[in-house]
Structure 1
Amino acid sequence: MRVSYLLYDFGKTGGSIVLYNFMDNLVKRGYEVYAVTPYGRYKWEIGMWKELIIQFSNDKLAKKIVKNIIHPYMQNNKKAKRLKTVYQWNKSVKGLINNWKQTDVTISTYCITAYAGFYLSDQTIPLYHMQHFEELFFQDRIQRLVARNTYKLPLIKISNSSWLRHIVKKYFNEESYLLNPGIDLGVFKEGKGYLEKYRTKKKWTIVSFFDEQREWKGFNDAVKAVKKARDILSSQGIEIIWKVFGLNPPTKSYETEFEYVGKLFNEQLSKLYQEADIVLLTSWYESFPLPPIEAMASGSLIISTQYGVEDYIIDGKNGLVTLPRKIEEIANKIVWAIQNPQEVQSLVINGVATAHDYSWDKRTDVLENILVEVTKNYKDTKYKLFDDLVYGRFGEYMYEEFK
C-alpha cells in the first residue's frame, strides 16, 4: 500500500515526532510512504526525519532573521499579520497539492493540510490524523474558524485521544477512529531499583515542563501548587527540589524557586524523569500529552490534570489526577504522595505496566487496522457530476444522479 502524509513542515515538537515514528514503522512493515510538504516530496526512509528537522530548523532560523529585519511592524499590525498568515496558508495548500504523489491513502496531519487533503479526496482515500483540537492554538477569529471548519470536512477522521474524540463527536457530530501515540520504550524505561526512592525522606524532587508563552500549559498553576505544598511541608522539615525543562528559559521571576535544566529530549529527558520522585503536569487541556506516559515508563509518579490523559492515567491506580486550575487539590496530591511513599510504590508499578502498552509496535498495529478497514470500506466519492456541469457537459447518467 502507498501512503502519503501531508505535513505542514518538518517540526520537532512531540506531535511531529509521533508522525515520524508512525511513518518509520509503516516503512518497516513494507508500506511505500511519502512525506509531502508545501516545499517538496520525500520518499520516506527510516530515521530520515532526524536530518530533515535539522535542515528545516536552520531554514526557519534564516527566514526568522530576515522577517525580523524586514517586517518588524507586523507584530503590532493585526490586519497585516492576518493577511500574511492567510497568504502563507494558501501558498502552503497549493504547495501540498502540487507536490502530492498519487497514493492509495493520503493522511492530513494539521488543520491547513486538511484543506489539501479535501482537494485531493476524489483521487485518494482521505484521512485526517488529528492530534489536538487545533482551534485552541489561535486567538485570531479568522484563524480559529479556518481550524474549526476542518472538523466538518468529508475526511475520514482519526483522533489521537479519547478527549479529542469526544470533542469532535459532541460539537461536530463527527465519528473518528482512536489512535493513541506510542513512546520509545527503549529510551523511556525504569532504572534499576526505581522503587527505592519512594521511602520516608526529607528531600523530594519534582519535575515539570516549563512554558511561559502558552498560558494553557498551566505553569503558573504549577507554581502556586508547588508553593502551597512547600508551605505545608516545610514545617515537617521536608524540602521540595523543583526542576523544569522546556524549549525556552524563564524571562521573569516567580513566587517560588525552581531550576531550569534546559531543552531536553530522549535519553537526557528519560534520565531526568528517572531521577524525579514526582512528575507534575498542570495543563488546562491536552490531547494525549507525551510527558506523563514517558514519566510513567521511566518509573516515576505522575500527577496530572485530567483533560487529555484519560486514555492512560486512572486516578489512584497508576497515577494521581486532578481537575485543571484546582490549585489546592494539586497541592494536596503532592503532599499526599510525599507523606505516603509506600502507597505511591504501587501506583508507580502500575504506571510502568501501563506504559508498556504504548510501544510503537502496538500503536502501529492499530494504525494498520485502520488502514485496512478504510481501504476495504471506503466508497469512492467522485465529483464527475459537478465537473461536467461546471464545464457545460450534460450526460445521460445525470438523470439518475438528480433523482
Structure 2
Amino acid sequence: MSDPTEYLTEYITEHPVQPPTSLKGRGAAAATPHRFVSVQRQTEDDGWPHDDGDPGDAQPFAPRTQVREETARRVLSRNDSPDIGFELSINPYRGCEHGCIYCYARPTHSYLNLSPGLDFETRLVAKTNAAEALRAELAAPSFKPGRLCLGAATDCYQPIERRLHITRAVIEVLAGCGHPFSIITKGAGIERDLDLLAPLAAQRRVGVYISLTTLDGELARTLEPRAAAPQRRLQIIERLSRAGIPVGVSVSPTIPFINEPELEQILAAARDAGARTAFSIPLRLPWELAELFQDWLQRHHPQRAERVLARVREMRGGALNDARFGSRMRGEGVWADLLRQRFVKACARLGLGRERFDYDFSGFCAPRAPAKAAGQGDSRQQSLF
C-alpha cells in the first residue's frame, strides 16, 4: 500500500472541516478529522457575500466522488474473531459511496490519512487487480478454503462497480475454482450478475444477504443516501429468490427509536419477498463513527438525539461502543435482551431461519499458479498475469 502520508497536504487543502450542514446525497456533513491527523482547520464565516449574494445564499459544499486505482498485493483478509461468521473476506474497494452514516467501516479510512466522514464516501480506492491477486492467493499451496464473505467492509455493488466490474471479475475467479462465498449488499447492481450467481446457487456455492434497515424512504434518504431505496431492495430479494439464489436479510444496525420500531415489519416484508434467513446487530459506534453519528442525529433528529444515545450506552456498558468479543454483536443489558427477544420471536413467527447458509466446499479446485514471467531469473517470483 502507498505511504498514507502523501494524502496529508491534499487532505488539508481540499477538505477543510465544514459546518454541520446536511449535504444532498451524502451521509456525513463534513470531512471530520480522523484520530491520526496532526493538523486541523476550521472554517469561519467572515461576513462577506458569496456568489454576489448574501452569506446565507451560499450553496453548501458539494464534494464530487473521486476514485483512485490501487494495485493490491493481496485481497483475501483473514478473520479470527469468534463472533463473526466467516473466516475470509474480500473487499474490492476502500470506502463506499452509499454513504451510510452508521457504517462501522468508516474509521478504516483513517489508515489512509483520510476522513471517516465525507472522504469515506467521496474518496474511494478501487483494487483494479483484485481478480488477479485473488487467483494467485487461491493457487498458493498453503491456501485452505473457508467461509468467505464478499463486501464486509465496503459494498461490492456500490455505484462505481457499474463501470469498473471488479466484483464481477472476483466472482468469476471464485466460480472458476469452485470456492463458495456469500455476498452482503444493499446495491441493485447485484442483479447484473445473476447469470453467474444462479448456477453457483444450484451447486450450493453462493448465498446473498440484502441489508434492509428501514421501509421508510424518507429515513433511508438521510440514513443511507446513495443506496438502493427500500422498495427496490425488496425487489432485489424477490428477483434473487426467483432465480433460486438463497437470500437472507440483515436488519443491521438496529438503531433505538430510529429504525428499531420497524423491526418486525422489515422482517415480514423481507420474508414476503423471498428471504429465507435473517440476522440483526444493534448499533455500535467505534472510533470516529461516534462523533459522525451524533452529528447526524443533531441534524436530522435533534429531539430524539439524547434519547437514542442514552439507549445505545445502555446496550454498550455505558459507552457508545463495546469492542469485546461476544457482546459487540449482541449488546448487553435489559434493552438489548428485549430487542433480541423481539427478533427471535418475529423470525419464529415468520418462519425465517437464523442459521448460516450451508455451502458445498467439496468442489474446490485451486486455480493454476500464475505463469512465471518471461526472462524472470528468480523461480520464487511469479507474475500475477
Question: What TM-score results when the alignment is normalised by the length of structure 2?
Answer: 0.32
Where is the helix percentage greater, Structure 1 or Structure 2?
Answer: 1
Larger RCO (alpha carbons 8 Å, 6+ apart): 2
